[in-house]
Amino acid sequence: MRAVCLEEPYKIYVKELPDPVLADGQALVEIKLCGVCGTEVGGFKGVSPVVKYPVLGVGHEAVGVVKAIGEDAGGFRVGDRVSLEPYITCGECHSCREGRCNNCVSLQTCGVHRPGMMATLFSHPVPLLHRIPGDMSWEQAVMIEPLSIGIHANHRAGVKKGERVLVAGAGPIGILAALVARAYGALPIIADPMEERLDVCRRLGFELLCNNSREDLPGLLLKVLDGSLPSIAIDCSGAVPVVECLADCVRHGARVVFVGWPKTVCSIDVSWYIRKELNLLGSRNSNHEFLESIELIGSGAVRATELITSIVPLDGAPDLIRDLAERPGRHLKAVVRINA
């Protein structure tokens, strides 16, 4: 098989690797599309706190067709179109036992801690396969995993109808989180320093937008929202100055959710978190939220394909990831076509 391999920072190649063998409880999947995530870009630049080199196959946002399946087929058959949930959990730690599997103490994400899905063939545990509805396109389906991250952030925040939700960072995850908040009946306000990204938000019908390239976010929000601050902030930017000012961006008693990984240590003024009695929440990956993601995309409640800015063939993946690292403003969700 062929796979996109990241040997060390800045060394990324398409390589020939041995085909995976079908193990018990697994399915062999012919991968159709695999999205590129910030994780791959961070891994390429050597700034990801989680990537373990070499990564023999990057990527964790894949969809494909079942080519072979063992005895415990879980109702799946050869030829089924599937989305692959990429989080391998131990099933035994306290988080797993409490049903918070995304928070497993020995969590392994495909393409991060173990081989990933930008490969012509991939072996994956059957319980982590999700059937794609017959009328859903591959382009819609490849957005299932990233959308599940936005869903999880909304669940962590406990977003309710009518609430004002600040989403900081209009990358794919930020826009998807805002689309979910809107689908829940909340009122998202999106902040980003790149005007091209705010234009995408405008096209998707978002009206409350802040360009925080020159002005501080708290001041901008007071202007845009006529003095009433949001009850929720979801940070998808991982930008240190944004993270450090979030306590000033929300009203008393608000929930502040961190999704984007900052590249350096942030200092937060804890006294403001006490004074305003804020809830500070981390949000990592997603937790059994693929079915809701399939539902939101399938019903048209979230038009996730509008975030796809390019689809390149497998051989173009290394250049694509390089370009994402060098010129992030040119891309939103970039996708690799593995098998036609």
Name which of 56 and 90 has its Cβ closer to Zn ion.
90
Min. distance of Cβ 241 from Zn ion in angstroms? 24
Cα(267)–Cα(231) distance, rounded to whole angstroms? 22
Cα(140)–Cα(165) distance, rounded to whole angstroms? 25
Name which of 178 and 249 has its Cβ closer to Zn ion.
178
Min. distance of Cβ 226 from Zn ion in angstroms? 36
Min. distance of Cβ 218 from Zn ion in angstroms? 29
Min. distance of Cβ 186 from Zn ion in angstroms? 23
What is the 3 state secondary structure string of 279-293? EEEECCCCCCCHHHH
Name which of 58 and 243 has its Cβ closer to Zn ion.
58
Name which of 19 and 92 has its Cβ closer to Zn ion.
92
Task: Kindly list the residues in this chain that would bind Zn ion in the complex (CB under 5 A).
Answer: 37, 89-90, 93, 96, 104
Name which of 22 and 93 has its Cβ closer to Zn ion.
93
Min. distance of Cβ 101 from Zn ion in angstroms? 7
Q: What stretches of the chain adopt beta strand conformation (E)?
A: 2-8, 11-16, 26-35, 55-56, 61-69, 81-84, 87-88, 108-109, 121-125, 129-131, 164-168, 187-191, 209-210, 232-235, 255-258, 279-282, 308-313, 333-337
Contact present, 51 and 112 (Cβ < 8 Å): yes
